[in-house]
Amino acid sequence: MDFNGKRILLGVTGGIAAYKAAELARRLIGCGARVKVVMTRSAQEFVGPLTFAALTGEKVATAMFGPDSDPLEHVALGQEVDAIVVAPATANFIGKVAGGIGDDLLTTIMLAATRPVLICPAMNAEMWANPVVQGNLARLKGRGLLVMEPAAGSLACGAVGLGRLPEADLIVEAAARLLCVPDLAGRQVLVTAGPTHEDFDPVRFLTNRSSGKQGYALAKVAWRRGADVTLVSGPTNLPAPYGVKCVAVRSARDMQAMVKAHFPEVDVLLMAAAVGDYRPTQVEVRKIKRAHEEMAFHLTANPDILKQVAAMKSGQIVVGFAAETHDLEAEARRKMREKHLDLIVANDVNRPDSGFQVDTNEVTLIPRVGDAVPLPLLSKEEVAAKILDQVVALLESRDGDHAKDA
């Protein structure tokens, strides 16, 4: 992730998790952001402003009044930066913002702010469960602020429950949504990822080398760009991308059911999963015993999910993937025709640095109409961004056609 010099105002309020905001500031800076910290008075009881000044290289704003304060900061700061992240956000701070109270520098900045805001609550589990707090959060969400769910675990007060500040990596991931151009806002995007597992017996299955990394990168980047994303994933070792609704499946037929259930509601399907083409014809209920020197199995073809959803298409943009070892472009074009795709992403899986399991990919984007676009070796997130650029263009031209027809 590259925040590319964007300016983030990091608001720190007075909960014990304030010390974790120091790590968050470092992570944001590590991603290329410039961070300006504003602390409430109680936050300074937990961590000194000097810590943040040293980490960010910028003066920390702490008060509206006093010899060191800038008389216009309370208006300017929330308008000059690219995004505001408040972590941790206490129940008190959330209540004041919900009620329109500006009784210190940070809450007054929030009243005048024009930039996108991420609120990262952290508090005791009972406070979190308090209907007043939940009502206040609902008001903030209703006003378009992005609110993270706290994590579950042991809390500073000794209790175990919901209320921990989310991990810094997740906050950075959520902040990325504030900083990206929201060119997929309001779009429903369905992504499939990973391999499928096709059982022979209770302990053995047929699968392939897919890691799910390209599909997860697509889900992540689509969410950052404003989409509502559902990820239907075969078994992988990857963490669920923040903000994305995840549906876990095992077999091709499980995946088929989930894709078909979601497809009518979406604008875009990105079918990055490596769906097993065949499954064992018979699944043994008991573990198969070693008996002979040779063994033969019968396999049955799995449903081709993409071919089936093509028949259900009502304006959706459908993107398929072709992992090939030979005749890359010709094979990809054949699949595009057969599966009625709008775009196919072709990759040569012979290369060790491209395709399965690695973090990089070299692909060619082949649209139904127009020339193929060969891309250089890129990270899977960069490849995802290029694919989504084409998807945005396809959605815009679809919407333009609809407008003409109306």
Residues near ligand C5P (CB under 6 A): 252, 271, 273, 275, 277, 302-306, 320-322, 335
Identify which of residues 167 and 362 has a Cβ nearer to ligand C5P in the complex.
362
CB closest to ligand C5P, residue no? 305
Identify which of residues 3 and 205 has a Cβ nearer to ligand C5P in the complex.
205
Report in angstroms how near the CB of residue 309 gets to ligand C5P at its nearest: 8
367 phi and psi, to 5 degrees? -80, 160
Identify which of residues 349 and 358 has a Cβ nearer to ligand C5P in the complex.
349
Helix 105-112 and helix 91-99, axial crossing angle in degrees, nearest 10: 40
Tokens 């002979």 identify what position? 292
Q: What is the DSSP string of 196-261?
A: --EEEETTEEE--S--SHHHHHHHHHHHHTT-EEEEEE-S-SPPPPTT-EEEE--SHHHHHHHHHH
Residues with Cβ < 8 Å from 117, sequence gap 6 or more? Answer: 83, 84, 85, 86, 110, 145, 146, 178
Report in angstroms how near the CB of residue 341 gets to ligand C5P at its nearest: 8
Report in angstroms how near the CB of residue 97 gets to ligand C5P at its nearest: 44
Identify which of residues 24 and 322 has a Cβ nearer to ligand C5P in the complex.
322
- Whether 31 is catalytic is no
Identify which of residues 35 and 252 has a Cβ nearer to ligand C5P in the complex.
252
Report in angstroms how near the CB of residue 277 gets to ligand C5P at its nearest: 6
* Secondary structure class of 150 (helix, strand, coil): coil
- The angle subtended at Cα 170 by Cα 164 and Cα 172, nearest 5°, is 120
Report in angstroms how near the CB of residue 176 gets to ligand C5P at its nearest: 26
Active site residues: 157
